[in-house]
A = this chain, B = another copy of it.
Amino acid sequence: MRTGRKRSLGKGRGGGEAAFAELLKKKGLKVTLERQKIYEEVASMNNHFDADELFERFKAKGLPISRDTVYRNLPLLLEAGRVQKSAGEGKREYFENMEAGGHHDHMICVHCGTIVEFRSEAFEALQQKLCEKHRCKLIYHDHRLFVECARCSNNVEKGARRAVHENHEAK
């Protein structure tokens, strides 16, 4: 790398940076400039994204961060609680910034593919409790409710024939 930017991980005021720096330290991993950039880019994301999108962003910015590096490091961000897995359209793994809009889960209509985000403290609390009971530490979770939304429910009742899971085919 050629930029002379100073290191910032571990000095940040937000909890996120510290958590990531701690994780790297605990694992004996190096704080590379690439990891910092990935961290920063993710922190600036407001929408769902996938690994490839992230890679493309760096490319667009002229930052020489390879696809491999993005793929290699995203799991670290998951583990640090910096991102969560998320619902998306294709078969890719989707992620989202935990700090933008806070944590939430998803309801997906199996017919039309509509995605509704929801947030439930009750679920969060239950999960924590369950993990404690099993003496595990919750890192992140993936919770998706596949539903038939009210609109589609109507259509099906009316006898409308539609392709099976047409959303699965949609790009």
Interface residues of A (CB under 8 A from B): 26-29, 72, 75-76, 78-79, 107, 109-110, 116, 118, 120, 122-123, 126-127, 130-131, 134-150, 153, 156, 159, 161-162, 164-165, 168
Whether B142 lies near A147 (C-beta < 8 A) is no
Can you report 26 residue pairs joining A to B where beta carbons are below 8 Å apart?
Answer: A27-B164, A29-B164, A72-B164, A75-B164, A79-B110, A107-B131, A107-B136, A110-B139, A120-B126, A123-B126, A131-B145, A134-B147, A135-B149, A135-B150, A136-B148, A137-B148, A138-B147, A139-B147, A140-B146, A141-B143, A141-B145, A141-B146, A142-B144, A142-B146, A143-B143, A143-B144
Q: Chain A's interface: helix, strand, loop or mixed, by majority? A: mixed
In the assembly, what is the distance between CA of A149 and CA of B139, in Å? 10
Evaluate whether A131 and B147 lie within 8 angstroms (CB atoms) in the complex, with A27-B156, A126-B123, A159-B28 already known: yes
The reply to whether A153 and B137 form a contact with Cβ atoms under 8 Å apart is yes
